[in-house]
Copies of this chain bind each other. A is one copy, B any other.
Amino acid sequence: MPDNREQFKNLLKQNGLKVTSQRVAILEVLSSRPGEHLTAEEIYDFVRVEYPDIGLATVYRTIQMLSELNLIDKLNLDDGYVRYEISKFDKEESCHHHHHLICLDCGSIGTFQDDLLETLETRIKELLGFEVVDHEVKFFGHCIKCRGE
List residues of A whose CB falls within 8 A of some B CB: 74, 76, 78, 82, 101, 103-104, 110, 112, 114, 116-117, 119-121, 123-124, 127-144, 147
Contacts and interface: CB of A to CB of B under 8 A. Distances in A.
A147 B76 CA distance: 29
A110 B130 CA distance: 9
Given A116-B119, A137-B136, A138-B135, A143 B124 contact: no
A144 B129 contact: yes
28 contacts: A76-B78, A78-B82, A103-B130, A110-B130, A112-B124, A112-B128, A114-B120, A116-B116, A116-B120, A116-B123, A117-B120, A128-B144, A129-B143, A129-B144, A129-B147, A130-B139, A130-B141, A130-B142, A131-B147, A132-B140, A133-B140, A133-B141, A133-B142, A134-B139, A134-B141, A136-B138, A136-B140, A137-B137
